[in-house]
Amino acid sequence: MSNRIVRLFAEKNKNLLNVYFTAGYPKLGDTVTILQALEEAGADLVEIGMPYSDPVADGPVIQQSNDQALENGMSLRILFNQLENIRATVKLPVLLMGYLNPVVQYGVENFVKKCSETGIDGVILPDLPLQEYLDDYHEIFRKHNLLNIFLITPQTSEARIRQIDSVSEGFIYMVSSASVTGSSGAIGSTQEDYFRRIEAMQLQNPTLIGFGISGNASFARACRYANGAIIGSAFIRVLQHSSDLRPDIHRFVGGVKGITTK
């Protein structure tokens, strides 16, 4: 049985939109509503953030959504309960993104099993180092058909990118610039040089560009150099100000993809 992420990239390799949102935000019970709305609106894959008290790779917008979600009572246990039946309605590949400590406390093997039972296809844990993953986690992930997605940045050496490419499956997450999430810096020529450099490496895995993608212009620009792009903070900002989630999500996703809605 192949993984939904792998199947997606086999079917479609251009202009893929991956949207991040924090589980349990703005309200504890919003997780599945947002997930379903993203699918209807035309997102290609989704990352659900597992909120954490100390998200060091995140800027203020995602930090605040993590704090709010925790205050709302979100936990991994509750998240898995909320997601229990998603595969009855949701076809999209779904990833969980978060930090290592809550996963370790849940129990790595339990976590991986639970992901697989729930129909989660991949995981992004920025503070799980490559070597530790390979030594201690890879077998468990493989056994349960769960992909671990690695990040590369403009500072990642070519040798390390090659190594990451050789152990990756699904896609590689290209962090657009040296920054935490939610930086306002637009995609400029430094980023484009880096995107071209990676493009020229002809990696075996598809790439998605994330961090600093905020709307149609930056999305389209990133898609010129990669198979798609990832939006996080800009979407969290929409949720933050939304009084009616579904139409707001439709409008936002349509806008990013360059489809105008009535």
Partner 1 sequence: MEVLAQPAFEVDEKGYYGRFGGAYIPEMLYPNVEELRQQYLHIIADSGFEQEFRYLLRDYVGRPTPLYFAGRLSDKYHTNIYLKREDLCHTGAHKVNNTIGQILVAKRLGKQRIVAETGAGQHGVATATVCALMGLECIVYMGKLDIERQKPNVERMKMLGAKVVAATCGSQTLKDATNEAMRHWINNPTDTHYIIGSVVGPHPYPDMVARFQSVISEEIRQQLTEKIGRPNPDYVVACVGGGSNAAGAFYHFLNETDVKLVAIEAGGQGVTSGHSAATTALGKPGVLHGSRTILMQTEDGQVTEPYSISAGLDYPGIGPLHAHLYDSGRGIFASITDDEALQAGLELSRLEGIIPALETAHALAYLGRLNATPEEVVVVNLSGRGDKDLATYSKSLDL
Residue ranges binding partner 1 (CB under 8 A)? 52-54, 56-57, 59, 63, 67, 70, 75-77, 99-106, 126-129, 131-132, 150-153, 155-157, 160, 175, 178-180, 183
d(CA 225, CA 221): 8
Instruction: Exactly one of 30, 39, 44, 58 is catalytic; name it.
Output: 58
In the complex, what is the shortest distance from the CB of residue 159 to partner 1, in angstroms, rounded to a whole number? Answer: 11
d(CA 60, CA 62): 6
Of 29 and 60, nearer to partner 1 (C-beta) is 60
In the complex, what is the shortest distance from the CB of residue 92 to partner 1, in angstroms, rounded to a whole number? Answer: 25
Catalytic-residue membership of 47? yes
Of 212 and 228, nearer to partner 1 (C-beta) is 212
In the complex, what is the shortest distance from the CB of residue 63 to partner 1, in angstroms, rounded to a whole number? Answer: 6
In the complex, what is the shortest distance from the CB of residue 151 to partner 1, in angstroms, rounded to a whole number? Answer: 4
Catalytic-residue membership of 192? no
In the complex, what is the shortest distance from the CB of residue 2 to partner 1, in angstroms, rounded to a whole number? Answer: 26
Instruction: Exactly one of 30, 39, 44, 47 is catalytic; name it.
Output: 47
**Can you give the three-state secondary structure of the chain, one letter per residue?**
CCCHHHHHHHHCCCCEEEEEEECCCCCHHHHHHHHHHHHHHCCCEEEEECCCCCCCCCCHHHHHHHHHHHHCCCCHHHHHHHHCCHHHCCCCCEEEECCHHHHHHHCHHHHHHHHHHHCCCEEECCCCCHHHHHHHHHHHHHHCCCEECCEECCCCCHHHHHHHHHHCCCCEEEECCCCCCCCCCCCCHHHHHHHHHHHHCCCCCCEEEECCCCCHHHHHHHHCCCCEEEECHHHHHHHHHCCCHHHHHHHHHHHHHCCCCC
Nearest to 256 by CA among 225, 230, 226, 224: 230
| Catalytic positions, written as ranges | 47, 58
